[in-house]
Structure 1
Amino acid sequence: MKNIYQYKLSHLTTEQIQELMKRYYNNEKNNLLIEEYNIDIRNSLLSKTFPLKEHKNTLCPFCNIPMFSYRESKSTYNWHKEEIFCKKCSHKHNVNFCDCLNCKKNKQILQEIQLQEEKLLNNKKIEIILATYIDESKKPIDLDILTIKDKLYISALLRTSLSEDLEYINPISSIKLKLAPTQKYKMNLISDLREKQFILFSPNTALDSIIVEDEEIVSYYPMNVTFKLNIDLEDYEENIQNLLHLNIIEDIDSELKIELWSEIALSECLEFLYAKMEEYNLPIDYIGDKTISALKESLKHFSTSQNFNFIWRTVKNAAAFYQKDKISKKHAVNTIAGGILRSCEKAKAENWEVKGYSRDYNYPQSIISEIFFDNILEIGDKGFTSVVG
């Protein structure tokens, strides 16, 4: 890299150049200096004509020779970060990105190494996934020991994302059907089935959906994995059909009935709560155990539909509180739990006739809710409009 303006001072002696530089940095006017020294240059480029500044202690990593920099202009003098470069290969020393030929070559070599490492890692992942699948598939599910909850979870997952050929359970993230009301519920459902090895990592799962350490799968992204149902190949299609279209013959005991109904109702209330908060531009990050506890208590006395009423009014009041009193959004969100609980307690104490809300068109009933209320309890919409129990 050469100083393309330095020739503009070729008619001056070394002493004259030194004097010019001294007067320049003493803030004499550029136009007067240019006129006096007869320099053919624009005012703003005068400092570019000065000899390059040598950095003897900074050697080019490629040429092993001292590097240089342009002289600072008066406007940047004493604070501007110098761009230090090699006159021979044009390498830049103190910049975020250098486009010299040597750096480009090094970057290309690094990219090739990274690609090779990624390829090796992917091959290792494929081996580990396959080995895990082969090992776990040796112990297929005994369908006779499945609980009603297990069957509900499996049925919902199969209905949502079973492949057309009945072979694989496609990633939930790629499916439009709604497995469960909230993301957390979906992830808990998948994690539960995976932990019990009712579903296995499919050999053709996306490699970036699992995390491997020390020759084993240590973590995974539940929504992005392709699974395979871990059942015996004998009577495979018949068993798949039975799980897809549940026909629960045995009676569900009251404790499990309340557990699953409460689980689904709470998730539906949270989905509605998040939707209303988004509508009123309130952050859902601050929703925690206090609000969940309030909803659980309210669901003991009022239906999911009626709780939608409490939620809508409470979120609306929280948003108005935020606007009117100029409080933080976090403070406004913290009033929601108390608002839901007060609505529930007042409605109970004064024997209100609480009007139920319909399902939001944008948030249809989930597959797990449909199966539980239609196939297992056989009560349909009463699961939404009746109190848990």
Structure 2
Amino acid sequence: MNDFKSIEPTIHPKLSHLSKDELQNLLHDFKANELKIKELIAKYQLIGVATSQLRRYLPHFDYKNNICPLCEVVSCQNFESRESLSLPYCPVCLEKMFVHFSPEDRIRQMSWQMSNARYRKEPFDKWCELSDINVVPISIDQFDSISYEAKIYLGTIVSLVISSDLIVVDTMLLSEYKIFPGNTPFINLMEELEIEPQYQKWDVYKLDPLLTNLLLFPDNALFGSETEKLQLWKRIAIEEAKEYLKYRMEENRFSLLQGNIVNEIFESLLETYSLSNIFYFIYMSVTEACKHYAKNNNRNHASNTVIYNCLRYGERYKSNNWEAKQYNRTGQTAQSEISRYYFDSVLKIGDKGFYEKPSIEVLMC
């Protein structure tokens, strides 16, 4: 495995008096959000730094889950606020990582991935001899028979780990990716293909190269009905909302309400609001729950108020014709791969999948 270097950040002159350990402590304290900005400025003797400017002066930090395939260096992130991080980007070429899926980039990266030992070098026929592998051929006819959601899932994993000969998808390689929001699968490809799972083996899909090409460069071949497109958009949005809700709840040591009521409330909100708006409602509802707990010292009751307050916020903003704020994803709830592939490569609406409410009108643009 190659060792990839980290790029040391440029330290702003106003922070140059701090040691490396002190800089790390400053980043930790900024993220912990336990001290006010003016208290941080006083603690670290940041002379001439206004409270509104501190975030801009903070150095970047490594995001080691992602490597720039062109520069072969560890990507990095910055604080966008005390509670959200920027998308990972390369500190050398400054390209953002995983913002838009590009099949051309994907194909160019394959040669680098081969050298990084992320793909086996044995011929596919030799793989078939291994007893712990379950080989699953997928033809174009089989592809046509599976559901729209399953087609999108297959396209997602092909875009991530297809071999250089455009035939093999080794599912073991998927463990390093966040395929679904919250890493909670909601599509079972083996079931869709009507293949009995082999629980003691790992699956390797063998694709027709023509099918691979369709998935890397999706066009009408992946297009379902407008209803199917909209349903999957909502499904992904609901799962992402649940992931952010879980993150905010656990961050404040609240228990998460289970059951269909969570799905129903988020689905109702998506009729009027974008996922970005719903993130705002979740943030405000958890904040209200923290205030409730501080006042009444009843953590369970405070936890139970959160999801219903999300609904109340939505109803209140709608009845008063108020414009809801838009919140961004956090580093802890980064966009999933199926979301990225679906909105960027298939629907080709990009960030509208997050900042616009699900609608036929957006799909038709």
TM-score (norm 1): 0.52
Distance in 1 (CA, whole Å) between partners of 2:162 and 2:234 is: 27
Aligned 1:1-389 pairs, distance under 5 A: 133=134, 142-162=142-162, 166-171=167-172, 174-175=175-176, 177-184=177-184, 186=185, 188-189=186-187, 192-197=188-193, 210=199, 226-229=202-205, 231=207, 236-248=208-220, 252-284=224-256, 286-327=257-298, 329-389=299-359
Distance in 2 (CA, whole Å) between partners of 1:153 and 1:321 is: 41
Aligned residues: 229
**TM-aligned CA deviation for residue 199 of structure 1:** 7.1
Distance in 2 (CA, whole Å) between partners of 1:140 and 1:249 is: 10
Query: What is the DSSP-based 3-state SS (H/G/I as helix, E as strand, rest coil) of the residue aligned with 1:378?
Result: coil
**TM-aligned CA deviation for residue 383 of structure 1:** 0.9
Answer yes or no: is the 8 Å Cα contact 1:280–1:316 preserved in 2.
no
**TM-aligned CA deviation for residue 376 of structure 1:** 2.1
Distance in 1 (CA, whole Å) between partners of 2:143 and 2:262 is: 38
Distance in 1 (CA, whole Å) between partners of 2:216 and 2:320 is: 45
**TM-aligned CA deviation for residue 278 of structure 1:** 2.0
**TM-aligned CA deviation for residue 260 of structure 1:** 0.5
For residues 227 and 138 of structure 1, do their structure 2 counterparts lie closer, same or farther at Cα, with a shift above 3 Å needed? closer
Indicate the residue corresponding to 2:61 in structure 1.
none
Higher Rg of the two aligned structures: 1
**TM-aligned CA deviation for residue 322 of structure 1:** 1.9
**TM-aligned CA deviation for residue 140 of structure 1:** 8.5
Query: What is the DSSP-based 3-state SS (H/G/I as helix, E as strand, rest coil) of the residue aligned with 1:150?
Result: helix
Answer yes or no: is the 8 Å Cα contact 2:247–2:332 preserved in 1.
no
Distance in 2 (CA, whole Å) between partners of 1:355 and 1:143 is: 41
For residues 355 and 195 of structure 1, do their structure 2 counterparts lie closer, same or farther at Cα, with a shift above 3 Å needed? same
Distance in 1 (CA, whole Å) between partners of 2:147 and 2:171 is: 24
Instruction: Tell me which stretches of 4 or more aligned residues in structure 1 moved more than 4 Å.
Output: 136-141, 161-166, 198-202
| Paired AA for residue 263 in structure 1 | R
Percent identical residues: 27
Query: What is the DSSP-based 3-state SS (H/G/I as helix, E as strand, rest coil) of the residue aligned with 2:204?
Result: strand
Unaligned runs of 5+ in 1: 1-125, 203-209, 212-224
TM-score (norm 2): 0.55
Distance in 1 (CA, whole Å) between partners of 2:140 and 2:344 is: 29
For residues 140 and 226 of structure 1, do their structure 2 counterparts lie closer, same or farther at Cα, with a shift above 3 Å needed? farther
Unaligned runs of 5+ in 2: 1-129, 360-365
**TM-aligned CA deviation for residue 145 of structure 1:** 3.5
For residues 253 and 196 of structure 1, do their structure 2 counterparts lie closer, same or farther at Cα, with a shift above 3 Å needed? closer
**TM-aligned CA deviation for residue 258 of structure 1:** 1.7
Answer yes or no: is the 8 Å Cα contact 1:160–1:178 preserved in 2.
no
Distance in 1 (CA, whole Å) between partners of 2:209 and 2:222 is: 23
Distance in 1 (CA, whole Å) between partners of 2:295 and 2:149 is: 46
Distance in 2 (CA, whole Å) between partners of 1:346 and 1:172 is: 46
Distance in 2 (CA, whole Å) between partners of 1:140 and 1:196 is: 14
| Paired AA for residue 364 in structure 1 | A
Indicate the residue corresponding to 1:57 in structure 2.
none
For residues 199 and 352 of structure 1, do their structure 2 counterparts lie closer, same or farther at Cα, with a shift above 3 Å needed? farther
For residues 371 and 140 of structure 1, do their structure 2 counterparts lie closer, same or farther at Cα, with a shift above 3 Å needed? closer
| Paired AA for residue 204 in structure 2 | K
Which structure ranks higher in relative contact order (CA pairs < 8 Å, sequence separation ≥ 6)?
2
For residues 279 and 173 of structure 1, do their structure 2 counterparts lie closer, same or farther at Cα, with a shift above 3 Å needed? farther
Query: What is the DSSP-based 3-state SS (H/G/I as helix, E as strand, rest coil) of the residue aligned with 2:171?
Result: coil
Answer yes or no: is the 8 Å Cα contact 1:158–1:169 preserved in 2.
no
For residues 163 and 198 of structure 1, do their structure 2 counterparts lie closer, same or farther at Cα, with a shift above 3 Å needed? farther
Distance in 1 (CA, whole Å) between partners of 2:202 and 2:222 is: 32
Answer yes or no: is the 8 Å Cα contact 1:303–1:384 preserved in 2.
yes
**TM-aligned CA deviation for residue 172 of structure 1:** 6.6
Q: Report the aligned-residue RMSD.
A: 3.0
Distance in 2 (CA, whole Å) between partners of 1:244 and 1:200 is: 27
Distance in 2 (CA, whole Å) between partners of 1:156 and 1:251 is: 14
| Paired AA for residue 270 in structure 1 | K
**TM-aligned CA deviation for residue 337 of structure 1:** 1.9
Indicate the residue corresponding to 1:108 in structure 2.
none
Distance in 1 (CA, whole Å) between partners of 2:222 and 2:156 is: 19
| Paired AA for residue 192 in structure 2 | K
